[in-house]
Chains A and B, each alone.
Chain A
Amino acid sequence: MKRFNIDRLLGFIVFLGFSLYFYYLLSTGKINMFISTRMIKYTKASLIGLCLLTFYQFTKIFTIKDRIPISKSYILLFITIAIGFSASQKGINIDIAYKKGVSTNAVKVTQTNVSQTTSSNTENEIPILNNKGEVEFSDKNYANSLYELEENLNNYKGKKINIIGFVYREDDFKSDEFVVARMIMSCCAADAQVGGVMCNWTNTASLQKDEWISVEGTVDSMVHKDQESDDSLILPVIKVSKIENIKKPDQIYIYP
């Protein structure tokens, strides 16, 4: 009997395809488009596993064929690898932010905090002010800064702020409102949430949806009534003084 197993050959090609794809993503750094940094170690480990299995499948090619017919599911796997390579060329389109909606941790209005204008809770404060006493949002501490700003808003009212993001506007925003937003990925692109800060600017009409900008302004607060739950939220808002167009950053996601 001929010592050549087509089924095993296909299996070998599939495993080889996956191994090469994983290696490609890891070595070019494109893996960050799909998976959060803390999950990358699992991908690396599975690359090793896949290589092992690829090698094993190779050794089985020159064996006698089983009577099992070739499974049609190999087509599916080849298509997946093809989609993989094509997806890694372009990455995500910010349009998806509109499907996900902006999520916020803003504090609800209660009797006590509405009338408060002075500093409140300082015990759990995470420092987000830079040397000049301005609020600065960097990629590394973005999630923390956002949480801190929303939680202890009163501490930051009146301070200057610097933040970058893409322009996000919902239809029911007022004509001078927009959100300067980022995509926050905790595990993989599928669970990415949109977070950001509301901005007030007179020239908002000139802003294109999804363009990347750098915002400079002063921190203030506003009350926003949520339509469905009838709750009122205190949101941080930036009174914008300056906007600059920037190039879309290489790293569009925030990994908390």
Chain B
Amino acid sequence: MEVRSNSKFKIRFILIMFFLIILTPFLSIFMQYKISFDFSFIQNFNTIFISIILEAIPFILLGAFISALIQEFVSEQLIAKIIPKNKFLGLLGAAFLGIIFPVCECAIIPITKRLIKKGVPTGIAVTFMLSVPIVNPIVLLSTYYAFYDRPSMVLIRGGFGLLVAVIVGFLVTCVEIGNSMPIKDDRFDLDDKCYCGCDSYNDLYNKHSKVKSLLEHTSKEFMNIIKYLIFGAALSSIFQTLVPKQSIAFLGHNQVLSVIILMLLAFVLSVCSEADAFIARTFLGQFTIGAVGAFLILGPMLDIKNTLMLFGNFKRGLVIRLIIYIALITISVSCLVNTLAMRGVIR
């Protein structure tokens, strides 16, 4: 019963994340920072929660719509013609495609799922999914704007971010050869004309209007994705509202731990990749440059919102492997950045 165990797992995952996030404030108490659970907590939680949702909804709508467009107008044959036979070229191409695809990380998951269904190899789709939110011109611009006195940050984010995306895609290609489709078995797959209900007979005989089909897919994808957004936004808001920033600053100068701490923070905060540069900037004084780079690279690729969406759309095993690859590669690349910075190669 693949479907049932998957949803049980999802619930367990959410509960674990919830407890971890509730526990951190208690850790902070040990470090003697004030925590108050009063009315202002609810006020702030509500505001931050809603602001994340309001900001993300336009992009989710867009992603759902583009996914519906691909479903209607891009055929499997077209995809098969475009994808280069050489694996490396495919990965590089997917990585750079991000430059012309100004789409937020929330929107990219339904699009990637649709591409994989249309026949794009999993590794290439993964590289595409990871690189688009980073190589996005709007994101690079906002990074440049936030780090005006340190333009090398833009190169670190863009260049090393691409590197991580390509390596992870490569790993996925190597490991997933021979594995079945990575999309979670959705018993109620809306793509099949046969819905297993009376309504399908009507549809088979009626002409399917393209517009209606687009609207249908967009709504279904939107409803599907939005519940993960809501969970992710809630967890992230709890964290933001309860935990003072000072409580994590003590690890800032450790070469490796600073990287890990900021990566965890990037994961939990789930801030949109257009704005996280401004938050990252505030860490510059207290954290190593590799750590700040890791924050900027991991944020668009993996955060609570994203992870929940991934578990909802792809097979559990693949998602877990993906998380491990991304985390390990980002840690190594960021420690590399730290080493290069110490030698004076990067400023």
Contacts and interface: CB of A to CB of B under 8 A. Distances in A.
Given A76-B230, A228-B253, A92 B47 contact: yes
Nearest to A68: B188
A101 interface: yes
B240 A99 contact: yes
A20 to B, nearest CB: 14
Interface residues on B, range: 35 or more
B199 A63 contact: yes
Contacts of A191: 271-272, 275-276, 278-279
Contact of A91 (B47, B59, B286): B47
A56 B271 contact: no
Interface of A is mostly: helix
Given A42-B59, A53-B219, A90-B46, 6 more contacts: A43-B58, A45-B58, A76-B227, A92-B44, A95-B36, A187-B271
Interface bracket on A: 35 or more
Contact of B54 (A31, A57, A77, A96): A31
Contacts of B54: 25, 31, 34-35, 43, 188
A205 interface: no
Contacts of B227: 73, 76-77
A114 interface: no
DSSP majority for the B interface?
helix
A42 to B, nearest CB: 4
Nearest to B245: A101
A157 interface: no
Contacts of A93: 40, 43-44
A53 B285 CA distance: 47
Interface in A156-194: 186-191, 193
A42 B58 contact: yes
B275 A187 contact: yes
20 contacts: A42-B59, A66-B196, A67-B196, A68-B195, A86-B46, A87-B47, A87-B49, A90-B46, A92-B44, A93-B40, A105-B149, A186-B278, A187-B278, A190-B52, A190-B55, A191-B272, A191-B276, A191-B279, A193-B279, A228-B252
Given A188-B275, A191-B275, A193-B278, A66 B219 contact: no
Contact of A56 (B57, B219, B252, B279): B219
Interface in A176-222: 186-191, 193
A39 B195 contact: no
Contact of B50 (A67, A77, A84): A84
A144 B346 CA distance: 28
A46 B222 CA distance: 12
Contact of B222 (A25, A53, A71, A84): A53
Given A50-B61, A186-B278, A68 B197 contact: yes
A188 B51 contact: yes
Contacts of A128: none
Contacts of A46: 57-58, 61
